[in-house]
Amino acid sequence: MRTRQGEKWTRGQGDKETGRQGDKEKERQGKVRFSLSPCPLVPLSSRLTLSLSLCLSVFSLFIPLIANAQTGEITGRVVTEDGAGMPNVTVFLNPFATDRRPTTGGSQNRAATDEDGNFKFTGLAPRVYSVVAFSTKGYVQRPVPISERQDGGYHRVGANVTITMIKGGAITGRVTNAMGEPLISVQVNPMMTRDAEGNPVRGGGGRPRFTDDRGFYRIYGLQPGTYVVFTRNSMTGPYPSPYDLDTPTFHPSSARETATEVMVTSGGEVSGVDIRYRGDTGHVVSGTVTGGDGSPSPYASVGVSLTNAAAGAFSGATSTVRRDDGTTGFAIHGVPDGAYEITARRGGYNNEEPFASTPRPIVVRGADVGGVELKLLPFGSIAGKFTLEAAPAVCETKRKWSLEEALLALRFEVKPAGSAPAQSRSIVNGLTEKGEFTVYNLEANRYFLEPRLPNENWYVKAITTAAATSSPAGARGAAARNSSPAEVARSGIALKAGEKIAGVTVTVADGAAAVSGKVAPAKEGSRLPARLRVHLVPAETGAASDVLRYAEVFARSDGSFALNNIAPGKYWLVARAAPDDEPSDGPPPPAAWDANERAKLRKEAEAMKVEIELKPCQRIMGQIVKQY
């Protein structure tokens, strides 16, 4: 399932860990009890760690028995666009977990809606969850507009969630060869190029289908948007086909650059999307995958993928074979000419420690490319905790919130191959009941921390690392010293391949303010641009480089906006249009992160002269913001 944070497969969700790591965590928490012989009752001293871990592996089923665990509910309704409830839809509930703690009382991760479309999950531990309706009978979840995307999708105990389903669209057509003969059982793929709002997206789509014995295919249950449709081989499984060596053919009969786009509406059907199959033999990219930690289990799967973000995310995957010398050979067939990035991955399932190679550019031009060596590197991790500072002012609140209900997003830059602009993506992780987090499966990169707070009264005061001497020379981005709190927030944490960083502290304080209002167009009476960002910029000179004091949010289609979790102080507000070609699933990093962008933003914000002063717990409404 695609998430709005980008390919789940490329960036781990951070909720997997190696067995060894997990056991050590439990040791530290001191929560394991041994109550069966023959494992002797021993104190938790490091001398006896070895026998301890043996005992742990047997008896760790006695993981935290939270006596009288506090539990709550999440309720909701699944409806169609006219508001009618949809019965018998399966809804999935998944926690943003950091470890293997059981999160639900009764582990109810599925529920079905009743005749009125209502559903309920009970016995839930105070965590953060995602609630997703299973696409069913041609209906899909209505896409969330870009202005609501940053907060949506996270639900805490006590929430009531409404999920709107819309009828998907359909695309049908026929695949034939130059002589008009049907192509049987060829895989046809839909790839979204623009979403329903017309924003460009990279690499979205629906699931592929096969042609039948007359060459016809039918793809239904598609999100509304604009698509290209193409044939593709899929040589990852044990089923070879006669099309495996061919390059993709895009509707009507072309390569990606000259493909005809198809617009799909909710409940609409576009027929006659025929493909005249070209069947040009593509090239082969082949080589070896080496590295990884020690001797790999024979059961860990190795995958190599080729992606082409520049021309619209063509990707090829490969079958691999283990050789006698322990290396893995790979060969990707049917590759058309172009510039790609190739990455190998291993493990990450069934508690296999994951490894990946650094994405490498590859150019295919008229010939096979062989001898590509990909070296698997371990993933790194970032660990730390949130702390809640006792603040002089505490806002009124109806219920007691725990740190466990916060989330941490790690945001990082992705530089696609070719000339496409950089994008940022996020990994979102939950916290333990002590407010601790460990995000696993991180590749070498520079990570910015974006805490997501569960209520309006908190704001992030500071982010620090324990190690003042970490010398980050990450794979991407300039080197920076993480020696001061402001540095971590501003330049993020640079992680080397396989590096495990701990001791990050996010200090949260009570007393946050909020401001909401509307954007006024630059000229009286003119229309607002389609995508508008509202920026909050600290007006005090002392805070000019404090990244934590900056915020940006998308305005809704009517120009309204809301900014929460703001530290008290003086601010400017300004609205700026987002560039037309900015993909909605891959926005660039926030302006505040880059010194030059920040300076530019400050100039524009100051020029608009919309200044506010926020006191602790204050809520300003109806604020007018001008567009630059």
Partner 1 sequence: MSKLSFALSILVLPCAFHSVQAQAVESKAGTATVSGRVILKGEPARGVMVILQTQYQGPFNAPRARTDESGRFHFTGLPAGRYSVSALSPGYASPEDSNFPGMRGKTLTLADGERVENVELEIKRGGVIAGRVTDSQGRPLIEERLNLSKLDANNQPRGVFYNSPNFDMYQTDDRGLYRIFGLPQGRYLVSVGYAESLGSLTITSRREFYPRVFYPNATSESEAKVIEVSEGSEATNIDITVTDPKQTQDVYGRVVDAGSGQPVAGVEVGLGGVTRDGRYSGGYSGSGARSGPNGEFRMFGVLPGKYAIIARPDEQSGGGFISDPVIVDIGEDTVTGVEVRVRQGASISGVVVIEGTNDPKIQAKLSLVGLAAFVRSTGQGPSTPSSGFARVNADGSFRISGLQSGKVAISMGGSPDMRGLAIARIERNGAPAPEGIEVDAGEQVTGVRVVLVYGTLAIRGEFRIVGGALPAGYRFFASARRVDQPAQNQPGAEIDARGQFVIENLPPGEYEIRVAPFFNPYGQQLSPDFRRLISSVNERVVLSGGNQQSVTLVLDLSRKEGDR
- List alpha helices for 37-103, DSSP H: 49-59
| Backbone CA torsion sign across 552, 577, 598, 541 | negative
Q: Tokens standing for 228? A: 């290209």
Q: Closest by alpha carbon to 49, among 32, 61, 66?
A: 32
What whole-number distance in Å separates Cα of residue 459 and Cα of residue 199? 31
Smallest distance, Å, CB 278 to partner 1?
7
| 297 lies in the site for partner 1, by CB under 8 A | yes
Least CB distance to partner 1 at residue 189 (A) = 13
Pick from 1, 41, 50, 239 the residue near partner 1 by CB under 8 A: 239
Asked if residue 238 binds partner 1 (CB under 8 A), the reply is yes
Q: Which is nearer to partner 1, 1 or 390 (CB)?
A: 1
Q: Which of 24, 194, 209, 360 binds partner 1 (CB under 8 A)?
A: 209
Cα 394 to Cα 130, 324, 385, 509, 616: the distances in Å are 29, 65, 21, 9, 8
Q: How far apart (Å, rounded) are the C-alpha atoms in residues 361 and 352?
A: 27
Q: Is 149 in the site for partner 1 (CB under 8 A)?
A: no
Nearest distance from C-beta of residue 80 to partner 1, angstroms: 15
State which residue, 102 or 418, has the beta carbon closest to partner 1.
102
Q: Minimum distance from CB of 315 to partner 1 (Å)?
A: 18
Selected range binding partner 1 among 295-303, 354-362, 412-420, 458-466, rule: CB under 8 A: 295-303
In the list 28, 36, 162, 337, the residue contacting partner 1 (rule: CB under 8 A) is: 36
With contacts defined by CB under 8 A, how many residues of the chain interact with partner 1? 87
Tokens 């169609």, residue located: 80
Specify the amino acid at residue 340. Y
3-class state of residue 62 by DSSP:
coil
311 binds partner 1 (CB under 8 A): no
User: Under rule CB under 8 A, which residues in 265-284 are in contact with partner 1?
Assistant: 277-279
Asked whether position 28 contacts partner 1 by CB under 8 A, the answer is: no
Cβ pair 561, 517 in contact under 8 A: yes
Q: In this structure, which amino acid lies at residue 166?
A: I
Shortest reach from residue 285's CB to partner 1, in Å: 12
Q: Which is nearer to partner 1, 217 or 554 (CB)?
A: 217
What is the 8-class DSSP label of residue 331?
Answer: E
Q: Which of residues 44-103 bind partner 1 (CB under 8 A)?
A: 56-66, 69, 71, 88, 90, 100-103
CB of 312 to partner 1, least distance (A): 23
**Which residue of 27, 244, 293, 604 would you call a contact of partner 1, by CB under 8 A?**
244
Task: State how far the alpha carbon of 423 is from the alpha carbons of 5, 92, 314, in Å.
Answer: 11, 29, 18
Nearer to partner 1, 281 or 484 (CB): 281
SS3 249: coil
Dihedral sign for Cα 343, 348, 349, 353, please. positive
252 binds partner 1 (CB under 8 A): no
Minimum distance of partner 1 from residue 318's CB (angstroms):
8
- Binders of partner 1 among residues 598 to 617 (CB under 8 A) are none
Residue 437's CB: how many other CB atoms inside 10 A?
Answer: 27
Nearer to partner 1, 182 or 568 (CB): 182
We find the least distance from the C-beta atom of residue 350 to partner 1, in angstroms, to be 7
Residue with tokens 């193409």: 230
Q: Using the rule CB under 8 A, is 246 a contact of partner 1?
A: yes
- To partner 1, the closest distance from the beta carbon of 51 in angstroms equals 13
- The first and second tokens of residue 207, run together, are 């699931």
Q: In terms of CB distance, is 300 or 407 closer to partner 1?
A: 300
Phi, psi values for residue 542, rounded to 5°: -60, -25
Q: Is 235 in the site for partner 1 (CB under 8 A)?
A: yes
Interaction residues for partner 1, span 350-389 (CB under 8 A): 350-351
Per CB under 8 A, the list member of 120, 194, 218, 500 interacting with partner 1 is: 218
Task: Give the range of 233-241, 303-311, 382-390, 572-580 binding partner 1 by CB under 8 A.
Answer: 233-241
As measured in angstroms, the least distance from the Cβ of 277 to partner 1 is 5
Q: Which stretch binds partner 1 (CB under 8 A): 2-10, 35-43, 395-403, 464-472?
A: 35-43
CA 624 to chain centre: 32
CA dihedral for 78, 80, 82, 87, sign (positive or negative): negative
Task: Please give the residues from 161 up to 190 whose contact with partner 1 meets the rule CB under 8 A.
Answer: 168, 170, 177-179, 181-186
Q: Report the DSSP beta bridge partners of residue 612.
A: 571
Q: Residue 241 interacts with partner 1 (CB under 8 A)? A: yes
**How far is 321 from 571, CA to CA, in rounded Å?**
59
Q: Which parts of 106-135 interact with partner 1 (CB under 8 A)? A: 106-113, 123, 125, 134
CB-based contact 397:518 (threshold 8 Å): no
Q: Helix 49-59 to helix 19-29 angle, to the nearest 10 degrees?
A: 100
- Indicate whether 301 belongs to the interface with partner 1 (CB under 8 A): no
**Shortest CB 241 distance to partner 1, Å:** 6
Q: How near is the Cβ of 261 to partner 1 at its closest, in Å?
A: 22
**In the complex with partner 1, which residue's Cβ is closer, 3 or 71?**
71
Which residues is 121 bridged to in the sheet? 74
- Residue nearer to partner 1 on the CB measure, 183 or 488: 183
User: Using CB atoms within 10 A of its CB, is residue 295 exposed (0-12), middle (13-18) or buried (19+)?
Assistant: exposed
- Looking at the DSSP bridge assignments, the partners of residue 170 are 269
Q: Is 441 helix (H, G, I), strand (E, B) or coil?
A: strand
Residue position matching structure tokens 């990852």: 236
